[in-house]
Amino acid sequence: MKLPTDLILGHPVEENQERSLPEFVEDLRERMDRIHRFAREKLKIHSDKMKQHLDTTSTETAFKPGDAVWLNAPKRTKGKSPKLQSNWEVPYTIIKKINDLVYRIQLSPRSKPKVVHLERLAKYTGHNPPDWFVVEDPPPRTEDSVIRDE
């Protein structure tokens, strides 16, 4: 019975042929090298296709302090179908960008901040974003900006 690998790599030598041990070992090594190269080529092709798909489907999202975002935090409520429950929590505000993938968010000025991964956040596009967080860059101090009592 011929298998697909036999068609691609060739049919193995008949078992009834007499070969010496060194010939057998050399033939086996050559076949294994050929099979290894073939497998590596197929893995490389598949890996390139996966990377291309990921690159086309992923979106580059970056938030800055003060942006309103939804937090994905799935909860299980007993007696309700998970499909019908909302997985997104009310809009949070980005407090700080810790690195490219991790952000610190806060619900209100008095709530405890959370540190979350970028994949759990989505941009808030509602009508009433939270406005309690104000991003202000202090103006540089100069001698003219100092108020003097005269």
- The predicted-structure confidence for 53-96, as pLDDT tens digits, reads as follows 988 877 667 888 989 999 998 888 888 888 888 888 889 999 99
pLDDT band at 150, cuts 50/70/90? very low
Q: List, as one string, the DSSP characters of 116-131.
A: EEGGGEEE--SSS---
- Higher pLDDT: 134 or 82? It is 82
Query: 């101090």: which residue's tokens?
Result: 141
- Please compute the mean of the pLDDT values over residues 110-139 and round it to a whole number: 82
**78 and 44, same structural domain?**
no
- Does the residue 8 lie in any domain? yes
- Does the residue 146 lie in any domain? no
- Does the residue 141 lie in any domain? no
Q: What CATH code is carried by the domain that includes residue 83?
A: 2.30.30.140
- What is the number of structural domains in the chain? 2
**33 and 13, same structural domain?**
yes
**104 and 84, same structural domain?**
yes
Q: Give the model's pLDDT for residue 24.
A: 87
- Does the residue 104 lie in any domain? yes
Residues 6+ apart with CB under 8 A from 96: 65, 103, 104
Query: What range does the domain containing 35 cover?
Result: 4-57
pTM of the predicted model as reported, rounded to 2 decimal places: 0.54
Last residue of a domain, one of 18, 37, 57: 57
- Does the residue 140 lie in any domain? no
CA distance linking residue 50 with residue 54, whole number of Å: 6
**103 and 74, same structural domain?**
yes
